[in-house]
Amino acid sequence: MTKLDSRPAGACRACGGALTFPFCDLGLQPVANSYVPLEARNKPDPVFPLRVMVCEECKLAQLDHIVDAGGIFNEYAYLSSVSSSWLAHAKAFCETMTHRLDLNRESFVVEIASNDGYLLRNFVAAGVPCLGIEPAANVAALAVQAGVPTQVRFFGREAADALLQERGRSPDLIVANNVLAHVPDLDDFVGGLAGLAGQRGIVSIEAPHLPRLVENVQFDTIYHEHYAYWSLLAAERLLARHGLAVFDVEPLSTHGGSLRLFAQHAAHAPGRSAMLESVRNEERAAGLDTARFYEAFEPRVGGVISAFRTYLAEQKAAGRKVAGYGAAAKGNTFLNAVGATDRDLVFVADANPLKQDHLLPGSRIPVVAPDEILKSPPDDIVILPWNIAPEIKRSLRAAGWQGRFVTAIPSLQIHAGLA
């Protein structure tokens, strides 16, 4: 396992303000995607504080301890293409943007944190020149094998400058899906976006929306790989400091509720959309610029944890066998916050071969291939990646599993059907 280091944040990574508003403290936890090889089962997991504070100036919710990004992302176990619903989401985005921007063989698209080529392969198929930038060498190699041009590096001003020199032009579209949360050096990253976009390039950013996280008690999306938790308020303030203006947003259902932001150099950005004003007004009415919005969250987290602990105790007393599905990072945060172990969940099944034959960090629950569910059927399956629960339910029912499904967020739900 890669050695990891941690340091206190000290101040807001977006504006330098003081981190004064408490949001959520989940104690000491291992890094969520640091899956444990079976031969290392007796070695303790390195653990670090997992606590979110909020900047009193720009209201960015962020971790107050930073685990080194190089140790987390140089090799990574998450593969975007494992989820069919995520592939469909990416395909629809590419088709929409091709039409909206009239992309063709003379165009150029760049995706930051392009993972295994799950999105850019749509542009490759359409004949639109593109390039992925991905720091995890193992998943970048999969993209290259699939025919997606990919550079293995972290993105920032230096990478942007090198790409501009190499290509001699700015991209028509820069895609940054679910990466902004993973960036420790926001000034360098957003400065790189602004420099690469130039005067006319469009920047498209997707990020889970903080009000949805709060509304649905999605505390399990807090983990060390997610350095920050984004509202439109905080994102606009950050982008504006680098000369980028948000001109449109799209609310999305992905990841429990996300926003897609469209930004361009402020001097050339079109007029602000009605949806942008609507989301601004929603956040204003919810009080995102005040301490009360953030300080009310943690007691609700405690209620969810308590309910799931009660469920596990009841199943154990009844002699029922409980397993999990989806060895997702969010599931690791959740299980470690609950204090669950392999005495509570006999295994977690996952379709990703990079996670199979490993143990979950912290809880040390074994990760197995999905066919283990039918070989050794549990009574209940806890769906840990609740954001793709319908997809998982359909797949397991089609395979012949007949037990109960359980989800814990935003509240404990136990059901025998597909609903």
**85 neighbors 387 (Cβ within 8 angstroms):** no
**376 neighbors 403 (Cβ within 8 angstroms):** no
**Owner of token pair 């009660």:** 310
Vertex 204 angle, CA 202 and 206, to 5°:
170
| H or E segment to which residue 69 belongs | helix 69-73
How remote is the C-alpha of 108 from its chain's centroid?
Answer: 26
**149 neighbors 111 (Cβ within 8 angstroms):** no
Per-residue pLDDT at 1: 45
Per-residue pLDDT at 75: 52
pTM: 0.88
User: Rounded to an integer, what distance in angstroms lies between the CA atom of residue 29 and that of residue 334?
Assistant: 10
**177 neighbors 154 (Cβ within 8 angstroms):** no
Per-residue pLDDT at 68: 78
For strands 150-152 and 258-265, give the pairing.
unpaired
* Per-residue model confidence as pLDDT tens digits over 309-332: 999 999 999 999 999 999 999 999
pLDDT of the chain along its 419 residues, tens only?
456 778 899 899 999 999 999 999 999 999 998 999 999 999 999 999 999 999 999 999 999 999 876 555 555 555 666 678 889 999 999 999 999 999 999 999 999 999 999 999 999 999 999 999 999 888 999 999 999 999 999 999 999 999 999 999 999 999 999 999 999 899 999 999 999 999 999 999 999 999 999 999 999 999 999 999 999 999 999 999 999 999 999 999 988 899 999 999 999 999 999 999 999 999 999 999 999 999 999 999 999 999 999 999 999 999 999 999 999 999 999 999 999 999 999 999 999 898 999 999 999 999 999 999 999 999 999 999 998 899 999 999 999 999 999 999 999 999 886 65
CA distances from 35 to 18, 30, 134, 148, 332 (A): 34, 10, 20, 27, 10
Q: DSSP label at 111?
A: E
Residue 190 — φ and ψ, nearest 5°? Answer: -70, -30
- What domains lie within the chain, and their CATH numbers? 6-65 (no CATH), 80-295 (3.40.50.150), 307-415 (3.40.50.720)
